[in-house]
Structure 1
Amino acid sequence: MAQTTLEQKKSRTRKDYAFHLEYRTRWSDNDMYAHLNNSIYAFLIDSIVNAHLIAHCGLDPFSARSSSSPSSSSAASPSPSPSQIGLVVSSYCDYFASVSFPDVLDLGLRVVKLGSSSVTYEVGIFLREEEMVKAVGGFTHVFVEKEGMKPAAGGKGMDGRIRAGLEKLIVKGGGESKL
């Protein structure tokens, strides 16, 4: 019998994700039931996505509201940040096992769908040195121009630097990403 989407998510391992980020939980991350608060999962998912966009897609969060940024005048900056930002249009999280402070987590990121101006991310949340996924969540970004918050003119889709960085995380055949 074929696995359901939820069963597939529950069977994820670290190798199913191309980009990883460590997170050390904090006492304040726990809720009154002594496990990670649901809002922290959303924070973790957002954090790994943005860490990848900054490190591998050329995004500069300091230039998100203006055309100038602290790093744009630097000689080390090869090109200006893309003129686009991603707006979250949907999000989810499926929970399989609890985590809590003082756990150290390994977050894994992959792209499950890449459109002309949108991307759907999936994030696996693991305890350090454990293979069983504790939660799988994600969201969909639609990339728009910073100025006016409208889609790119002429139907050109997302900026090439963003696309190139995201293509490295695309899932091939439902398994591993190509990074």
Structure 2
Amino acid sequence: MDTVINSWLIREGGLDIHDGDVIGLCVESRCVFKASAAFPEPVQVGLRVGKLGNSSVTYEVGLYREDRETLLAEGTFTHVFVDRATHRPTPIAGQLKQSLELLVAG
């Protein structure tokens, strides 16, 4: 889940994990097993935003077989966005906020 979320944030949200002033810290992660898969079976991932707060976001993630019908696992992942230097929460703004709003469930 972490890889899917952060890849999306970098690509679509413009998050600069190396030099940006804002970073996302994972404060909670949960995954519930539904069915087995074996390496190297490809999986499809569904990603949406379940809750978008001022400085935090909770993602909802589904992992599916390649046919997109069999749910393998589902979970949530919560980021709090903070100032890189102080680690104090900072409001989600700009391109990052706009891109997250596109994923809001509803």
Which residue, out of 108, 115, 125, partners 2:63? 125
Alpha-carbon shift at residue 126 of structure 1 (Å): 0.7
Extract unaligned runs of 5+ from structure 1: 1-44, 64-80, 173-179
Q: In 2, are the aligned partners of 1:84 and 1:159 still within 8 Å (CA)?
A: no
Q: Map 1:8-157; keep pairs closer than 5 Å.
A: 45-63=1-19, 81=20, 83-152=21-90, 157=91
Alpha-carbon shift at residue 62 of structure 1 (Å): 2.7
C-alpha distance in structure 2 between counterparts of 1:160 and 1:122, whole Å: 22
Greater percentage in helix: 1
Using structure 1 for the length normalisation, give the TM-score: 0.56
C-alpha distance in structure 2 between counterparts of 1:105 and 1:151, whole Å: 34
**Aligned amino acid, residue 132 of structure 1:** T
**Aligned amino acid, residue 151 of structure 1:** P
Provide the aligned length of Structure 1 versus Structure 2.
106
Q: Which residue of 1 aligns with 2:103?
A: 169
Partner SS for 2:11: helix
Alpha-carbon shift at residue 138 of structure 1 (Å): 2.1
C-alpha distance in structure 1 between counterparts of 2:16 and 2:82, whole Å: 15
Extract unaligned runs of 5+ from structure 2: none
What do the CA deviations read for 1:32-51 (whole angstroms, capped 9, x no partner)?
xxxxxxxxxxxxx0011001
C-alpha distance in structure 2 between counterparts of 1:98 and 1:147, whole Å: 41
Q: In 1, are the aligned partners of 2:24 and 2:79 still within 8 Å (CA)?
A: yes
Alpha-carbon shift at residue 107 of structure 1 (Å): 1.2
Alpha-carbon shift at residue 133 of structure 1 (Å): 1.1
Q: In 1, are the aligned partners of 2:55 and 2:80 still within 8 Å (CA)?
A: yes
Q: In 2, are the aligned partners of 1:144 and 1:158 still within 8 Å (CA)?
A: no
C-alpha RMSD of matched pairs (Å): 1.2
Partner SS for 1:48: helix
C-alpha distance in structure 2 between counterparts of 1:121 and 1:86, whole Å: 13
- Which of structures 1 and 2 has the bigger CA Rg? 1
